[in-house]
Structure 1
Amino acid sequence: MALIRFLIALLTFIGVLASASALVLAVVMMLRCPPLLVAVLLACWVLSRVLKKINKPIHSCSQSKGRS
Structure 2
Amino acid sequence: MMLLRFMLCLFVFIGALAAAGALVVSIALMLRFPPLLIAVVLACWLLSKLLKMLRNLGPNQPPNAPASVQ
Which bracket does the TM-score occupy, shorter chain normalised? 0.7 to 0.9
| Cα distance between partner residues in 2 of 1:37 and 1:6 | 39
Look up the match of 1:48: 48
When the two chains are superposed, the root-mean-square deviation of aligned CA atoms in Å is 1.5
Alignment of 1:13 onto 2:13: yes
Q: Deviations over 1:25-49 (max 9, x none)?
A: 1100000000000000000111111
The amino acid of 2:4's aligned partner reads I
Offset at residue 16 of structure 1 (A): 0.5
Name the stretch that deviates more: 46-55 or 28-37: 46-55
1:1-68 matches, within 5 Å, as 1-58=1-58
| Structure possessing the higher relative contact order (Cα contacts under 8 Å, 6 or more residues apart) | 2
Give the count of matched residue pairs. 60
| Higher gyration radius (CA) | 1
Offset at residue 3 of structure 1 (A): 1.2
SS for the counterpart of 2:48 is helix
